[in-house]
Amino acid sequence: MTFQEQIKQGIPNILPQPSAYDNNVNHAPKRKEILSDEEKKLALKNALRYFESKHHATLLPEFKEELEKYGRIYMYRFRPTYKMYARPIDEYPGKSTQAKAIMLMIQNNLDYAVAQHPHELITYGGNGAVFSNWAQYLLTMKYLSEMTDEQTLVMYSGHPMGLFPSHKNAPRVVVTNGMMIPNYSKPDDWEKFNALGVTQYGQMTAGSYMYIGPQGIVHGTTITVLNGGRKIAKEGEGLTGKLFVTSGLGGMSGAQPKAGNIAGCITVCAEVNPKAVHTRHSQGWVDEVITDINELITRVQKAQNNKEIVSIAYQGNVVDIWEEFDKHNLYIDLGSDQTSLHNPWAGGYYPVGLSFEEAKNLMANDPDKFKEHVQESLRRQAAAINKHTAKGTYFFDYGNAFLLEASRAGADVMAANGIDFKYPSYVQDIMGPMCFDYGFGPFRWVCTSGKPEDLAKTDAIACEVLEAMIKASPIEIQQQMADNIQWIKGAQENKLVVGSQARILYADAEGRIKIAKAFNDAIKAGKIGPVVLGRDHHDVSGTDSPYRETSNIYDGSKFTADMAAIHNVIGDSFRGATWVSIHNGGGVGWGEVINGGFGMLLDGTVEAQKRLESMLFWDVNNGIARRSWARNDEAIFAIQRAMEVEPLLKVTLPNIVSDDLLN
């Protein structure tokens, strides 16, 4: 069968041969056993309902073995035999160009070069899934190949509910992931209901089909490291010769060494998984690999003395780095952590003192003991970090729930008031006041032609737009504009593409709209193929996350979820998004955050221009309005500026209460 025929087939009537377990692929760890015997029967019934009853006797023992061996039913037998990657949009079967664009984005999320655990359909973060099993993938792709622009596909935590009649201005796909009743949103609830096959963790851009490889966070990390450096540097001094220590080389965190190189510092990034280290080194995202701590110390001392720009992966535990660098009085300028601590008990964090394999075995077979090791490791890590910050290290929480989980472990990370953390979130210190409050966030696009030359053309278009804009930009956002122009000019040189021909650029609403209009004009003129627009949920308005994106909202509302869960996604839906998504969980954990996302296809039409103008303006400014109501000065400035541009925008502004009056 051809690729197109396989897509249109969906779940095959004749069972394919079982797929051999491929040890060369990075696999998800075994999930802990959490289901009762009756619940295991229910999980099997839930899995078998995708198949005709004549196949149940054959598939039952196979699915039962998967559940016992891996803690989940992935349906490996149904894994496609074709290569998984984002093909040019014209190679997909179907009646709707918008649907073809979504198929392209789904396959990009599962590309072996992109996905963290591709055979388990997990894109990044240890549990950020596109689907829960391969039957869901096959059925979804079949529906998309049949869809017209008068239908909407409804996705229910990985499960395709089906095609429903709608209209051409409605979203082609509506995605939900993990939307639990609040009292059933603890980590063990995810373990249980995911094992049952009735919900999944979509992370941020995994389950919304908008992941573009680690490039997606390189820009944000670069901005964070650059501005972290600006906070500690003397006037006129850059990051040359300064040391940035962090951890994690998985899907998102793999961006750190590349960002460190772009920012111009020495980066040391610890990673316990040899396959993740190999992947990032082979892709050129990290320069060197060292496995011996003493060799690492010598190498870093040399780099500091020579003021090198270099990224080093330490294949080992980051706790050893913090402790040994302290013993050898090796000065760390910037420090953070980007292990997947939103998922601490299921592979997101590996404790010091255990090998990678020992930790995986303990995680699956004695989860309570594993939790003890993790919490002891967090206490040790925090204690070592405290020693470095006493010497002057600037440490920030990079939104991965490090401080949150360290505090729950009893680590010394609380401020004197017993309420706040002693170290800031990077959003509180950098991204919130400098970017999100002004409306700057991770705007991204994908060239559906798959042609590198199209990506180069879009880079040039975006750069031209920004260079024209900066001439009239107010002083308050000049630095942001300059940083983004520098970024896009170096995009080709830095070889950021992994998977699809995609790019990310921090832009405000004005920038996003002007860039998107310029793309649409270029498509209409036949200069480039269709383009998919999107963003990370890690944005101005895409996420309600009290320990990350909304951590710099101080009016007491940071624990509410009206913005992303309702306003943003519903507003995007009727303003022209091609698909929308809403997720429980993400970068800081299941039950800790609500994320909203979108995708939009530009095809060069007048209709596409109307949609982009309406939706992109709303998608950014609803978040600025929320932030301005919280009395954030930068957001008040930004929303007042937006109201001057658009007379139909009228936002309720706060009246500022004098602290002297309250005191």
pLDDT in tens, 77-88: 999 999 999 999
223 and 150 in a common domain: no
505 and 603 in a common domain: yes
**Residue 340 domain-assigned?**
yes
Residues 6+ apart with CB under 8 A from 30: 69, 70, 71, 360, 363, 364
Give pLDDT tens digits for 143-202: 999 999 999 999 999 999 999 999 999 999 999 999 999 999 998 999 999 999 999 999
Q: What percent of the chain has pLDDT over 70?
A: 99
Instruction: Cite the annotated binding site for NAD(+) by residue number.
Output: 125-126, 203, 271, 398, 587
Checking phi first, is residue 560 left (phi over 0); if not, alpha (psi -120 to 50) or beta?
beta
- pLDDT band, very low/low/confident/very high, at 340 (cuts 50, 70, 90): confident
Two tokens, residue 170: 């409605």
pTM of the model: 0.91
625 and 547 in a common domain: yes
**Residue 418 domain-assigned?**
no
220 and 192 in a common domain: no
**Distance (Å, whole) CA 285 – CA 124:** 16
Q: What percent of the chain has pLDDT over 90?
A: 85
**Residue 146 domain-assigned?**
yes
| Domain at 556, CATH number | 3.40.1770.10
576: containing domain? 439-499+501-661
**Residue 204 domain-assigned?**
no
| Domain at 246, CATH number | 3.40.50.10730
**Distance (Å, whole) CA 247 – CA 230:** 22
459 and 333 in a common domain: no
pLDDT (0 to 100) of residue 237: 81
When divided into structural domains, the chain yields a total of 3
Q: Which residues of 204-225 are buried (b: 16+ CB within 10 A; e: fewer)?
A: bbbbbbbbbbbbbbbbbbbbbb
pLDDT (0 to 100) of residue 253: 65
514 and 403 in a common domain: no
323 and 225 in a common domain: yes
Give pLDDT tens digits for 392-432: 999 999 878 899 999 999 999 999 998 889 998 889 988 99
**Residue 369 domain-assigned?**
yes
**Residue 604 domain-assigned?**
yes
Confidence check: pLDDT of 252 > 80: no
597 and 565 in a common domain: yes
What string of DSSP letters covers 83-101?
Answer: --S---GGGS--S-HHHHH
pLDDT (0 to 100) of residue 566: 85
483 and 394 in a common domain: no
**Residue 426 domain-assigned?**
no
Confidence check: pLDDT of 94 > 90: yes
9 and 111 in a common domain: yes
284 and 169 in a common domain: no
174 and 225 in a common domain: no
- pLDDT band, very low/low/confident/very high, at 347 (cuts 50, 70, 90): confident
**Residue 429 domain-assigned?**
no
Confidence check: pLDDT of 499 > 70: yes
Check if the beta carbon of residue 262 is closer than 8 Å to that of residue 284: no
Confidence check: pLDDT of 615 > 70: yes
Two tokens, residue 368: 């309570």
Instruction: Cite the annotated binding site by residue number.
Output: 125-126, 203, 271, 398, 587
